[in-house]
Structure 1
Amino acid sequence: MPPNRKTVEKARKFRRALTPPEVILWQWMRGRPQGLKFRRQHPLGFYVLDFYYAAARIAIEVDGAVHDDPRQMAHDAQRDAWIAAQGVRIIRIRAADVLADLDAVARHILDRCAFPLHQPSAGPPPHAAHGEEL
């Protein structure tokens, strides 16, 4: 589902108002670690993803203390279910972890992005192009 105009405007606003942990993570991501290209504050449907790795359809969400509130947790679960239904996997990172140990967070993100599970295939198997039987 493509984003609507309101969501795109919200994403632009969010890009100008990153939280300190998001700024730290973005400074690392914008260097394209291991050749991976991340997007920040990426609109998807009615939602804005903190960071997005399009090649593997992975969202990286940086969660502050507000995400520990039961009402916010219920909202996050609904949001995550919708995002997952769009074929996007979510990695949730605690903001405190970014501040405490960026290297460990970076390794975790790279591990998840380098070998994504359930990545759709790029097309038919090679034998199909040659008319070979299995």
Structure 2
Amino acid sequence: MEQNNHYNKRLKAFASDLRSTSTKAEVRLWCELLSKGKTGYSFLRQRPIGPYIADFMCKELKLVIEVDGYSHNFKTEEDLERDTVLAALGFTTLRFTDEEVMRDLPNVERSIIAWIACLQR
């Protein structure tokens, strides 16, 4: 039986809180692109994976999408470590800035769709 993609029950309450306090960029990406299978795949919001909570996660694609706000400008090492741990768990992480999502959503969408298309080849 599958391990439920390394779901961490201890982070469940925190993940729930994060869903209710999402950033504008996270809400926009969710509503306009990732909800209701608009990409052809099901994504979950604020999903615990190992020791982290992914902004968005697709189990089927083993894909994590992160929307990084201003504070991530100072967390390069932490983000690299996080991506390395998630990769060891079998996930690919795509990162976008809040600004990219808010000002250039069509390009963010193209990037995600192109990644999915490469995976399907």
How far apart are the structure 2 equivalents of 1:30 and 1:111?
A: 18
Aligned-residue RMSD, C-alpha: 1.8
* 1:109 to 1:102, Cα distance in 2 relative to 1, 3 A: same
1:7–1:45 contact (8 Å) kept in structure 2: no
Q: Does 1:49 align with 2:51?
A: no
**Higher helix fraction (1 or 2):** 2
2:54–2:64 contact (8 Å) kept in structure 1: yes
How far apart are the structure 1 equivalents of 2:16 and 2:117?
A: 28
Aligned to 1:64: 69
2:6–2:89 contact (8 Å) kept in structure 1: no
1:41–1:51 contact (8 Å) kept in structure 2: yes
Aligned length: 116
Structure 1's unaligned 5+ residue stretches are 120-134
| Structure with greater Cα Rg | 1
Task: Output the TM-score relative to the length of structure 1.
Answer: 0.79
Task: Output the TM-score relative to the length of structure 2.
Answer: 0.87
